[in-house]
């Protein structure tokens, strides 16, 4: 038998594929399946006769075979999540006269039992780690640290420095900023950096608890304090946080009579549970946050002035995202990684135009809104690189809000961005950057100083 005739023998090729690999699939240049080995079909629990001609994405989860026939790039020893486990996948394009005509993919789970054991061992370790992580969070109540505060802008860097300065000690802190700017992250970080970090961090959203329940939520109640009260009473959030930190979010929404009670705790470090005549001593650090204009509320007699001075020994201001647009690209990367891991979808980046649109938008919902948009894009995208048409309609169709910013501001912001990008591209080689920008070295130095650009 001739060599080619010998190799063209289907039975022979079949048994080679079956014995050498644990799974073989061949797709044509459209990504349609032309061959799938028996053991691969058994592993996927599909019928061989039915999968031939199907697009590979309909048959194999998380496959990249259809992309390999597009890119022509081989992918070796990639970990692929398949039927609840990881397998090792190789994907090789097949070329004829420099044209991609097909791709062959193999997977290895040779010693399935061994592989499963290893997989479950890793999974076991991860779930144990998760368990302890959650346990610790549960006990301690603290979710975030300063590392979670992503951003390199001057405003964020200064804020982080302030947090480091004021965290130790018991000074009360008022965190101000629009919704979704990261006030809660800062409150958690202060607690974790303080001497109270081993004790509890307790968050109370003063705006979301009905007014008539707020007092018993905060201070607890004695048995029989009111109809419907639990037997044995209930401890309040202050008691729960004893020794640790209480974070009163939306403090500007606190009703007036509760403001008076809060002032007493802050001044005298004691309180009475509802229905009790006996005071209880308490040792908590109070961190508050609001996005309400407290000064105006004081003028209108809606917020107690004396309480205001008590809670704001230190004030921290969180800038809205539109005032630190330079952080947008790094935040986008951060959320992309976070969401694609969570959603288990391979999305690697955003088109530069998408980032540019994001940098121009005003983000009234700040970082929370940005994170939601990125999540939605990852869910909706069919590609690894997110394109402009995946963005929500209102972002795609936005126009520059020129009337809100002067022309000079827009020009300066754009100039800064361009200089930063070029400097990054040439590894901060100022001579190369000046040349690329078509400007003199000394004017470049002036601009770098003016815009406080650092490498
Ligand atoms: N700098 C940041 N880096 C990474 N994630 C951030 C950052 N700032 C905020 N976030 C994320 O944005 C979301 C909103 O943040 P957070 O709840 O702290 O805002 P907030 O100012 O307390 O909002 P609200 O006033 O509505 O309660 C959270 O998911 C948080 O993890």
| Ligand 1 centroid, distance to 182 Cα (angstroms) | 3
Say if CB 68 and CB 75 are below 8 A apart: yes
Instruction: Report yes or no: 378 and 360 within 8 Å, Cβ to Cβ.
Output: no
pLDDT of residue 93: 94
With the most atoms of ligand 1 within 8 angstroms of its CB, the residue from 203, 334, 368, 375 to mutate is 368
| Ligand 1 pocket, residues with Cβ under 6 angstroms | 148-151, 177, 179-185, 249, 291, 367-368, 371
Distance 185 CA to ligand 1 centre (A): 6
Q: Locate tokens 């400007």: which residue? A: 439
Question: What pLDDT does residue 305 have?
Answer: 95
Residue nearest to atom 13 of ligand 1 (CA): 368
Pocket test for ligand 1, best of 174, 184, 327 (most atoms within 8 A of CB): 184
- For the CA of 371, the closest atom of ligand 1 is 12
What's the CA-to-centroid distance between 184 and ligand 1, angstroms?
6
Ligand 1 atom, smallest distance to 185 CA: 18
CA separation for the pair 228, 217 (Å, rounded):
14
What phi, psi does 294 have (nearest 5°)?
-60, -40
- What atom in ligand 1 is closest to the CA of residue 156? 1
Q: What's the gap in Å between 371 CA and the centre of ligand 1? A: 9
Atom number, ligand 1, closest to the C-alpha of residue 249: 27
Q: How far is the CA of 453 from the centre of ligand 1 (A)?
A: 26
Atom 9 in ligand 1: residue holding the nearest Cα? 182
> For ligand 1, what atom is nearest to the CA of residue 291?
25
β-strand partners of 288: 174, 248
Residues 6+ positions from 439 with CB-CB distance below 8 Å: 447
432 Cα: distance to centroid of ligand 1 (angstroms) = 39
- Asked if 368 and 180 count as a contact pair (C-beta separation under 8 A), the reply is yes
Note the helical H segments in 256-398.
Answer: 256-268, 294-299, 305-311, 328-343, 352-360, 366-380, 393-396
Atom 29 in ligand 1: which residue has the minimum CA distance? 368
CB of 65 closer than 8 Å to CB of 25: yes
CA-nearest of 305, 311, 383, 403 to 340 is 383
Length of the chain: 455
∠89-94-96 over CA atoms, to 5°?
175
- Distance in Å, CA 169 to ligand 1 centroid: 24
Q: pTM of the predicted model, to two decimals?
A: 0.62
Q: What is the pLDDT along the chain (455 residues), one digit of tens a residue?
A: 455 555 556 777 777 777 777 789 999 999 999 999 998 999 899 999 999 999 999 999 889 999 999 999 888 877 787 877 778 889 999 998 889 999 999 988 655 566 666 666 666 777 677 677 666 666 666 667 788 899 989 999 999 999 999 998 889 999 999 999 999 999 999 998 888 988 899 999 998 888 888 998 999 988 766 766 677 778 899 999 999 999 999 999 999 999 999 999 999 999 988 888 888 899 999 999 999 999 999 999 999 999 999 999 999 999 999 999 999 999 999 999 988 888 778 888 999 999 999 998 999 999 999 999 998 888 888 888 999 888 888 888 765 544 456 667 767 777 887 788 788 888 889 999 888 888 888 889 999 998 888 87
Domains and CATH numbers, the chain: 3-109 (3.30.450.20), 146-319 (3.40.50.300), 322-399 (1.10.8.60), 404-450 (1.10.10)
For ligand 1, atom 28, name the residue with the nearest CA: 368
Please report, for residues 52, 97, 379, the alpha-carbon distance to residue 304 in angstroms, rounded to integers and kept in the order given. Answer: 74, 81, 46
Ligand 1 center from residue 237 Cα (angstroms): 23
At 36 the pLDDT is 93
Ligand 1 centroid, distance to 369 Cα (angstroms): 10
Q: Please give the distance, rounded to the nearest whole angstrom, from the Cα atom of residue 246 to the centre of ligand 1.
A: 18
Counting from 1 in the atom list of ligand 1, the atom nearest the Cα of 184 is 18
- Tell how far the Cα of 368 is from the centroid of ligand 1, in angstroms: 6
- Residue 92's beta-bridge partner residues? 104
CB 452 within 8 A of CB 326: no
pLDDT at 322: 93
Q: Give the number of the atom of ligand 1 that is nearest the alpha carbon of residue 370.
A: 12
DSSP 195: T
Classify residue 182 by burial, with Cβ atoms within 10 Å: 0-12, 13-18, 19+.
buried
How many Cβ atoms are within 10 Å of 19's Cβ, its own excluded?
Answer: 9
């Amino acid at each position: 038998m001739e060599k080619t005739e010998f190799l063209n023998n289907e039975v022979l090729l079949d048994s080679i594929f079956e014995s050498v690999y644990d799974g073989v699939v061949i797709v044509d240049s459209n990504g349609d399946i032309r061959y799938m080995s028996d053991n691969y079909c058994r592993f996927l629990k599909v019928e061989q006769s039915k999968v031939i001609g199907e697009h590979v994405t309909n048959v194999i989860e998380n496959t990249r075979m259809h992309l390999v026939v597009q890119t022509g790039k081989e992918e070796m020893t990639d970990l692929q999540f398949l039927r609840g486990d990881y397998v090792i996948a190789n994907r090789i394009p097949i070329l004829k006269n420099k044209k991609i005509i097909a791709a062959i993919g193999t997977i290895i789970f040779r010693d399935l039992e061994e592989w499963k054991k290893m997989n479950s061992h890793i999974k076991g370790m991860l779930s144990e780690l998760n368990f302890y992580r959650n346990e610790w969070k549960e006990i301690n109540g603290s979710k975030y640290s300063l590392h979670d505060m992503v951003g390199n802008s001057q405003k964020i860097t200064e804020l982080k420095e302030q947090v480091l300065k004021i965290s130790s000690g018991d000074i009360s802190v008022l965190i101000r900023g629009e919704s979704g700017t990261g006030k809660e992250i800062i409150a958690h970080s202060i607690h974790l950096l303080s001497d109270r970090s081993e004790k509890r961090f307790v968050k109370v959203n003063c705006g979301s608890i009905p007014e008539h329940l707020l007092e018993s939520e905060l201070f607890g109640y004695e048995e029989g304090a009111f109809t419907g009260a639990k037997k044995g009473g209930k401890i309040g959030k202050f008691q729960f946080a004893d020794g640790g930190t209480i974070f009163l979010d939306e403090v500007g929404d606190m009703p007036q009579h509760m403001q008076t009670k809060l002032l007493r705790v802050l001044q005298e470090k004691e309180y009475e549970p509802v229905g009790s005549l006996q005071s209880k001593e308490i040792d908590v650090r109070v961190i508050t946050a609001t996005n309400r204009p407290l000064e105006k509320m004081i003028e209108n007699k809606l917020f107690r002035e004396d309480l205001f001075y008590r809670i704001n020994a230190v004030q921290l201001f969180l800038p809205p995202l539109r005032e630190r647009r330079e952080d947008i690209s790094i935040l986008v990367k951060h959320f992309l990684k976070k969401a694609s891991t969570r959603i288990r979808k391979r999305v690697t980046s955003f088109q530069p135009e998408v980032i540019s649109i994001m940098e121009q938008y005003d983000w009234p919902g700040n970082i929370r809104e940005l994170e939601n948009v990125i999540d939605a894009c990852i869910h909706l995208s069919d590609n690894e690189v997110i394109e402009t048409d995946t963005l929500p309609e209102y972002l795609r169709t936005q126009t520059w809000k020129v009337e809100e910013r002067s022309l000079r501001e827009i020009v300066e912001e754009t100039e800064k961005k361009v200089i930063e990008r070029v400097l990054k591209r040439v590894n901060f080689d100022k001579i190369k950057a000046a040349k690329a920008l078509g400007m003199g070295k000394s004017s470049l130095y002036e601009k770098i100083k003016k815009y406080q650009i650092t490498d």
